[in-house]
């Protein structure tokens, strides 16, 4: 049995498209192609790496199904009250004993959203999405049943419902995917549709900054939020300003240089990616507040660089708390 190992991907977009689209939640998990062929189950990541040893409970659940052959495209999630991606990252661990413990205490869920090969071994990838969706719904009803951890991902052709998904915060969803219902499955391309991320904002204290590589401008602002103990923790950075703004900021920020900058978790901790230069930063007195936009949080930190929105001179620094990062 053959099935594509490179999943179909999607182009980024800012807004939900109008017209005839199939909308699906964009889950904040690990994309995964699941293939069963007899007693063999493979879980393959978007980069072509095996997830099987990290998610043995998902392998076992797939082996429990009455269907002995199939291929699914889906997302691995951990459904709990904590941020799911943090718990997923804990699975990528070298110790088999820890993986086994986490599989028991926080089992993963496979959220299936496409059927690539059916239980008869037929390759469905050339069929339009609307046909594959109908067959996926039938497959899930017939084989998933009450099996824990195997779920059918929702889908809708309603623009209004998709808009509600974007507007209502969910701990395991960070946007919406819009797919062309007439399109075949195009493995390894970005021609499957669009992904629209739900953007969040936060007011953060500027606890420090880094100079640009030339040293004549600000390279990035280091962002902080206060925790329940009154400690200012580093939560990320922003650099989305014009070159002119970066240069004009230098004298303003240099007048505010004052250690420690961050009284709690500080930036520049050593890691395998760190260099001497990447750990160099200037601490500031906690007086400036900036609004930033972001899409994801991992381990109480903004996962990627945040987008600069505006300065907030009307906000008190002490009002900028960690609760803003909660789902």
For residue 47, count other CB atoms closer than 10 A to its CB: 7
| Same domain as 153, residue 237 | no
Catalytic residue among 26, 151, 179, 195: 26
164 domain-assigned:
yes
CATH code (residue 48) = 3.30.470.30
Q: How would you classify residue 186: left for phi > 0, otherwise alpha for psi between -120 and 50, otherwise beta?
A: beta
For residue 267, count other CB atoms closer than 10 A to its CB: 23
- Cα 161 to Cα 8: distance, rounded to the nearest angstrom: 24
CATH code (residue 270) = 2.40.50.140
301 domain-assigned:
yes
| Same domain as 294, residue 168 | no
Q: What is the pTM of this model?
A: 0.71
| Same domain as 319, residue 209 | yes
6 domain-assigned:
no
| Same domain as 33, residue 158 | yes
Please check the confidence at residue 79 and state whether its pLDDT lies above 90: no
Q: Of 194, 212, 234, at which residue does a domain stop?
A: 194
| Same domain as 18, residue 158 | yes
| Same domain as 315, residue 244 | yes
- Cα 321 to Cα 224: distance, rounded to the nearest angstrom: 9
Q: Of 194, 225, 247, at which residue does a domain stop?
A: 194
| Same domain as 182, residue 205 | no
Q: pLDDT tens-digit profile of 221-256?
A: 999 999 999 999 999 999 988 899 999 999 999 999
29 domain-assigned:
yes
| Same domain as 261, residue 231 | yes
| Same domain as 135, residue 43 | yes
Q: Which of 125-129, 313-317, 320-324 has the highest mean pLDDT?
A: 125-129
If one counts the domains in the chain, the total is: 2
Known catalytic membership, residue 26: yes
| Same domain as 131, residue 28 | yes
Can you give the residue range of the structural domain that contains 145? 11-194
Q: Of 194, 225, 246, at which residue does a domain stop?
A: 194
For residue 91, count other CB atoms closer than 10 A to its CB: 19
Q: How would you classify residue 236: left for phi > 0, otherwise alpha for psi between -120 and 50, otherwise beta?
A: left
Q: How far is CA 96 from CA 29, 87, 101, in A?
A: 21, 16, 9
To 10 degrees, the CA torsion angle through 165, 166, 169, 174? 100
| Same domain as 95, residue 130 | yes
- Return mean pLDDT, the chain: 89
| Same domain as 22, residue 141 | yes
Q: pLDDT tens-digit profile of 113-144?
A: 999 999 999 999 999 999 999 999 999 999 99
To 10 degrees, the CA torsion angle through 134, 194, 84, 135? 10
């Amino acid at each position: 049995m053959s099935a594509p190992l490179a999943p179909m991907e999607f182009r980024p977009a800012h807004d939900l498209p109008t017209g005839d689209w199939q909308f699906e939640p964009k889950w904040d998990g690990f994309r995964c192609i699941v293939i069963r062929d007899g007693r063999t189950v493979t879980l393959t990541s978007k980069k072509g790496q095996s997830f099987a040893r990290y998610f043995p409970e998902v392998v076992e659940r797939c082996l429990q199904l009455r269907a002995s052959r199939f291929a699914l495209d889906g997302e691995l999630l951990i459904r709990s009250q904590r941020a799911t991606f943090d718990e997923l990252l804990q699975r990528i661990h070298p110790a088999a004993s820890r993986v086994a413990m986490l599989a028991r205490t926080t089992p993963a869920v496979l959220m299936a959203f496409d059927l690539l090969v059916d239980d008869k071994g037929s390759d469905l990838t050339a069929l339009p999405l609307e046909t594959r969706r109908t067959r996926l719904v039938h497959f899930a009803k017939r084989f998933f049943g009450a099996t824990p951890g195997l779920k059918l991902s929702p889908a809708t052709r309603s623009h209004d419902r998709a808009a509600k998904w974007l507007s209502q915060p969910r701990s395991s969803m960070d946007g919406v995917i819009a797919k062309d219902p007439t399109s075949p499955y195009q493995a390894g391309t970005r021609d499957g549709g669009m992904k629209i991320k739900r953007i969040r904002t936060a007011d953060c204290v500027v606890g420090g900054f880094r100079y640009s590589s030339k040293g004549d401008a600000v390279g990035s602002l280091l962002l902080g939020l206060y925790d329940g103990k009154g400690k200012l923790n580093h939560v990320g950075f922003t650099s989305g300003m014009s070159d002119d703004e970066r240069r004009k900021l230098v004298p303003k920020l240099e007048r505010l240089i004052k250690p420690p900058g961050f009284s709690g978790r500080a930036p520049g901790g050593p890691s395998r990616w760190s260099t001497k230069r990447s750990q160099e930063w200037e601490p500031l007195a906690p007086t400036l507040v900036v609004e930033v936009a972001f899409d994801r949080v991992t381990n109480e930190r903004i996962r990627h660089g945040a987008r600069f929105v505006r300065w907030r001179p009307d906000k008190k620094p002490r009002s900028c708390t960690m609760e803003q990062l909660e789902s």
